[in-house]
Amino acid sequence: MNYLQLHEQNKEKSLYGRYITIKHIEPLLQKYKAETIGKSVLGKPIYKLEFGIGKTKMLIWSQMHGNESTTTKGLLDYINFLNSNTKESERILSKFTFCIIPMLNPDGADMYTRENANGVDLNRDAQNLSQPESIVLRKTFEEFQPHFCYNLHDQRTIFGVADSGNPATVSFLAPAFNESLDINEVRAKAMNVIVAMNKILQKYIPNQIGRFDDSFNINCVGDTFQHLHIPTILIEAGHFPNDYEREETRKYIFIALFSGINYLNENDIVLNEIDNYLKIPQNKVIFYDIVYKNVKINYDNKEKIINFAAQYKEVLYKDKVQFEARIVQIEYLDNFFGHVVIDADGEQFSSDEFYFPKIDQKADFCLGKSKKVVNGLINN
């Protein structure tokens, strides 16, 4: 099966980039006759879609964190597949019933913030249920009584696959259900599905798939649902080279959703994939967006060669996410990689304000007389 071709056929072309709000997806949800199941702190609707008539019930939600929109795009692509009226989609709909919340945190999406309008991280509110959005998700969970849960997120560009030097384009986790991090039948089922997704994704993004640390936090939704005996799978959309809009990554989220559900459709769950799950390398913080090497500076009237790094800060401006490069680390870059590496080859650092880089300074400077760096990258 050509998964990339399948994605292209079902890609929701009205959605693009990082800034995805309820206004962007409402026309799509109305087309599929979405039901309003609650409201956010600021009164925005929270929608639910249901598809299928099958016995296996899948609860899927996205954009619990408002600024994590890649999985929403991939999820809408998958929803298009479910409604494609093909033999494959009809087969899935006959075996599964889907309950989908495409955007749990519409206020955060609108403001492009992780938290909701009250400044609460909904993924730390699974026990207190202090926010209306948290209550909506828990009520849906209890009424729908799913057999599996998919918890969809984005992760930052800082994550790589162990020490490989490869970005973690997609990451998974079968959350722990207790402090001892035990593996019971419920958690093992989630691991099996992750292994199936990993096997397919390795064909498209080899060595770019990571596994999150499974430290237990009962306040997290995934840990809570796993604790309540429902296999729960965390999927994180990460960085693909030169893809800050995450249009490439959305393809692999679609493939993850498709292949995992296809695995559940075609296989009886047997508890034999734990070792293969644990072989997926763990995520590690090993990346900066841009690394500058062999830069000459004049410090205390002494010349020296240094390395430093910049990271993009995501800023919402006129309904578009802009990426502002700022210096975040000077020296101490051993064992770190850059998504972009610029070798100054001993050229002198200079800027309008400083003779050497400073933390939180905008990455606008010159290297020697011929290289002008604007917003982190050389602009000649």
- Residue corresponding to tokens 């604790």: 227
pLDDT (average), residues 110-126: 98
Q: What is the mean pLDDT of residues 331-350?
A: 96
Tokens of residue 294, six digits: 């062999």
Residue 196, pLDDT > 80, answer yes
Residue 317 predicted with pLDDT over 80: yes
Q: What percent of the chain has pLDDT over 70?
A: 99
Instruction: Evaluate whether 281 touches 164 at the Cβ level (below 8 Å).
Output: yes
Mean pLDDT over residues 180-188, rounded? 96
Determine contact, residues 119/216, Cβ cutoff 8 Å.
no
Mean pLDDT of 198-227: 97
- Answer whether 102's CB lies under 8 Å from 152's CB: no
Residue 300 has pLDDT above 90, yes or no: no
CA–CA gap between residue 52 and residue 89 (Å, rounded)? 10
CB 305 within 8 A of CB 294: yes
- How much is the pLDDT for 283? 97
Distance, CA of 321 to CA of 18 (rounded, Å):
7
Mean pLDDT, the chain, integer: 96
Q: How confident is the model at residue 271 (pLDDT cuts 50, 70, 90)?
A: low
The whole-number average pLDDT for the span 345-369 is 93
Whether 345 has a pLDDT exceeding 70, the answer reads yes
Where does 11-55 have alpha helices with state H? 22-31
**Beta strand extents in 147-259 (DSSP E only):** 148-154, 159-161, 170-173, 209-211, 232-237
Each residue's pLDDT tens digit, 123-168 = 999 999 999 999 999 999 999 999 999 999 999 999 999 999 999 9
Confidence of residue 206 (pLDDT cuts 50, 70, 90): very high
Instruction: Locate the DSSP E strands across the chain.
Output: 35-39, 45-51, 56-61, 96-101, 148-154, 159-161, 170-173, 209-211, 232-237, 283-285, 287-299, 302-317, 320-330, 337-343, 349-350, 365-367, 371-374, 377-378
Total-model pTM? 0.97
Q: Which amino acid is at 287?
A: F
Mean pLDDT of 239-268: 95
How many alpha carbons lie under 13 Å from residue 178 in its C-beta half-sphere? 6
Give the position of tokens 């994180």.
236
Strand partners, 148: 58
Across 309-325, average pLDDT = 97
Q: What pLDDT, on the 0 to 100 scale, is given for residue 125? A: 98
Residue 47 forms beta bridges with which residues?
A: 36
Q: Is the pLDDT of residue 269 over 90?
A: no
* pLDDT value for 51: 98
Q: Mean pLDDT across the stretch 9-34?
A: 97
CB 212 within 8 A of CB 234: yes
The band of 274, judged by pLDDT with boundaries at 50, 70 and 90, is very high
Give Cβ neighbours of residue 117 (< 8 Å, ≥ 6 apart).
40, 41, 42, 107, 108, 111
Q: How far apart are CA 136 and CA 28, in angstroms?
A: 21
Q: How many CB atoms lie within 10 A of CB 380?
A: 7
**DSSP per-residue letters across 283-345:** EEE-EEEEEEEEEEEEETTEEEEEEEEEEEEEEEETTEEEEEEEEEEES--TT-EEEEEEE-T
Could you read off the pLDDT of 68-89 as tens digits, one per residue?
999 999 999 999 999 999 999 9
* pLDDT number for residue 270: 63
Residues in the chain: 380
pLDDT of 301: 82
The pLDDT of residue 268 is above 80: no
**Chain Cα centroid distance, residue 346:** 37
Banded model confidence at residue 266, pLDDT cuts 50, 70, 90: confident
Average of per-residue pLDDT across 15-30: 97
